[in-house]
Amino acid sequence: MLTKINHIGVAVSSIEEALPYYRDSLGMTFSGTEEVPSQLVKVAFLSVGESKIELLEPTSPESPVAKFLEKNGPGVHHVAYGVEDIEAAIAKLLAQGTRMIDAVARNGAHGARIAFIHPKSSGGVLTELCEVHEGIH
Ligand code: CMX
C-alpha cells in the first residue's frame, strides 16, 4: 500500500528561525514555503537525497500545530507515507477498523492529496497518507 516515506513533519513556532539550522548547518536543500489555509499552517520543504523534512508553522492560534506546540513544544509532529491510490488506502484502513481523521482525502501542500490516521490508531505517531504526482511534491 505504501510506496516510501514521503516526508517527516516537524512543528516549529517560526520557519524563519528554524530554517538556518536545516538549510545552513545541515546543508539541506530548501525549496520554498507555502501556506495551506485549510490546515492553518505555513510549510517549508527541505530535502536531502530523496528524503524530505516539512517544517510546519501555525498561522492561527486555532491551528492544530499551535495546539501541538502549546502541549509539547517544537519537535517531530508526523510521519507521511506516499501512497499510489489514496482512496484505496483509506478504504483498506477503514475496513480494518483503523480510526481515520480524514475518511475523505483533502488537499495538502504542493497539490498533494492527503489523509491523516488518528494517533490513537497508530501508536501515538500522527500518520499522514500522501498521494503525490511526479514532479509536484
Ligand atoms: N502526534 C501525536 N499525537 C497527537 C498529535 C501529534 N502530532 N497531535 C494531536 N495529537 C493527539 C492529542 O494529544 C490528542 O490526544 P489526547 O486525546 O490523548 O489528548 C489527540 O491526538 C487528539 O488531538 P486534538 O488536537 O484534540 O484533536 P483533533 O481531532 O482536533 O486534531 C489532529 C487531531 C492530529 C488531526 C490535528 O491535531 C493535526 O495535527 N492535524 C494535522 C495538521 C497538519 O499537520 N497539517 C499539515 C499538512 C500539510 C501537508 O503535509 O500537506
Residues 28-50 have pLDDT tens digits of 999 999 999 988 999 999 999 99
| 3-class SS string, 36-76 | EHHHCEEEEEEEECCEEEEEEEECCCCCHHHHHHHHHCCEE
Which cell goes with 116? Answer: 491523516
Is residue 10 helix, strand or coil? strand
On whether residue 117 sits in a domain, the answer given is yes
136 belongs to a structural domain? no
Domain count, the chain: 1
Residue 124 belongs to some domain of the structure? yes
Domain-located, residue 137 = no
* Residue 70 is assigned to a structural domain of this protein: yes
In a domain? residue 74: yes
* Predicted local distance difference test score (pLDDT) of residue 109: 85
Q: How far apart are the first and last CA of the chain?
A: 19
Identify the CATH number of the domain in which residue 120 sits. Answer: 3.10.180.10
pLDDT at 134: 63
Q: Work out which ligand 1 atom sits closest to the CA atom of 67.
A: 25
Domain membership of residue 34 as a residue range = 2-131
Q: CA–CA separation, 33 vs 110, rounded Å?
A: 10
Determine the distance separating the centroid of ligand 1 and the alpha carbon of 19, expressed in angstroms: 23
How far apart (Å, rounded) are the C-alpha atoms in residues 57 and 60?
A: 9
Tell me the mean pLDDT in the region 69-86. 97
Q: Which helix (H) or strand (E) holds 80?
A: strand 75-83
- Distance (Å) from CA 88 to ligand 1 centroid: 23
pLDDT tens column, 88-110:
999 999 999 999 999 999 988 88
